[in-house]
Structure 1
Amino acid sequence: MKHARIAWSGAVQQAVESDGRLLITQGPHQGRRVGFDEVVWQPPLAPVLQARSVIALGLNYADHARELAFKAPEEPLAFMKGEATLIGHRAFTRRPADVACMHYECELAVVVGRTARRVKKDDAYDFIAGYTVANDYAIRDYLENWYRPNLRVKNRDTCTPIGPWLVDAADVPNPMTLKLQTTVNGEVTQSGSTADMIFNVPTLIEYFSSFMTLQPGDLILTGTPDGVVNVHPGDVVVTSIESIGALTNTLVKA
């Protein structure tokens, strides 16, 4: 099932996709169907799955590491992000006026479903609630060093759109064979597959849960393949992942 979180009729509400429309599943308008264009899309995390930790991966695709002229990491290269970075489908991301290079990153985002501590790879999928699409923008001008992205590169308000859907894990039997694609103003600029991750989803859950407790709603952004290009105010970026959805985002001046 595809779950959404929307603002409509003066309230934030939970909904699911139903025959090309949104069926509201909670609140005073429960049972009402509304169109995709009638709502403001929010990050698709229900109150019981509210992100506490947002963990992101750098250089988790070998081709992207080569694209940036970096050596592929020997263990997951991770950094944390704040919740204020998250925005929803069809929202606007601010591009600072003083930067020369800001690029998108189409990423599979894993949503943790239950408390995970010292989880083994073979059991990792049991701890996943579902998946969504993330676009983890990076501002290369601010990069201090390749192995530890600093806050101004990756932890900026509005710079991590996610959505539009949270797709139940049961509906994605193998998240490691999904095609990824990005278009900028309708032109395909990035394509890849989750099969090319250096550290796959079970490996990441085992790794992170070995030293920190993952909570329901925590997000793991799993990295991006090659094909990132500089984007500018006015550009419409669509990051899509097979079986998960297509996330639309527009750049505006900061």
Structure 2
Amino acid sequence: MAVSFELSLLNQDGKSSPDATKSLKRIFKEKGSVGFPNFMETSKLLASEYLKNDSLLVQCSLQVKKPSCTEKTMKIVVPPPEMNQHFGWLFGSKEGADVTFHLNEETCVAHKAILAARSPVFRAQFFGSMMESKTDSVEIEEIKPEIFKAMLYFIYTEKLPPGEDVSLEMAQHLLVAADRYGLERLKMICAEMLCTGIDAKTAAATLAFAVQYSCLPLKDFCVDFVASREMLDEVMVSDGFEHLVSSCPSVLKEILEKVKKVF
């Protein structure tokens, strides 16, 4: 609770003055102490009118303020968000699913409304003028089943499947799927993974990949890596550099500009 605390020295007539009065306001807890470590210098006290016959008169005033409703609610512990857990359960339980995806010889079910809320492409498929809006069955041929399922899990939970060992190859495939369905956050997560696996042998190929799928952060990282003084010679003799030159000639200008600054 909040308490206003005032301490005053009184002269022998029972009066006090501002120079012998101090106050503070604080919230008392179960442990701790309240006071004034430097209330008055000893020399001033000995020369004052407050000390007489080795005795002092001290007046202490307390004003207690009851905690308001707002102060009480501040003690309530708000639990962390649980929406991703609930949607994860919904995806796993398949309850209420209204669309089936055919992944080669496998099938996977989901909820149109959730997919549409998360992906502009799914929104157009299920609630636009496209053919899939009139059917509960969709064929998926361009994406591997494990990649598509991992993407759906992310759509529901904002996470990759638990226990999933995401290789650099899988990260590439997931980035392609994320790009296709407009899942920008998943795309950036995959780009971050690919950045950790870049070396002199893979930098040129990864750069061409980043340009192809319009992943600007990954492209900029690769350009800086290729143009670095330590890596340029090794990258130029890698298998992917010739493909980079033929497929992305415009990015070479950026590399050259970076090289000029480095050298």
Query: Is the pair's TM-score, using the shorter chain for normalization, greater than 0.5?
Result: no
The structure where strand makes up a greater share of residues is 1
Structure number with larger C-alpha Rg: 2
Higher relative contact order (CA 8 A, sep 6+): 1
Q: TM-score range by the shorter chain?
A: under 0.3
Give TM-score scaled by structure 1 length: 0.16
The structure where helix makes up a greater share of residues is 2
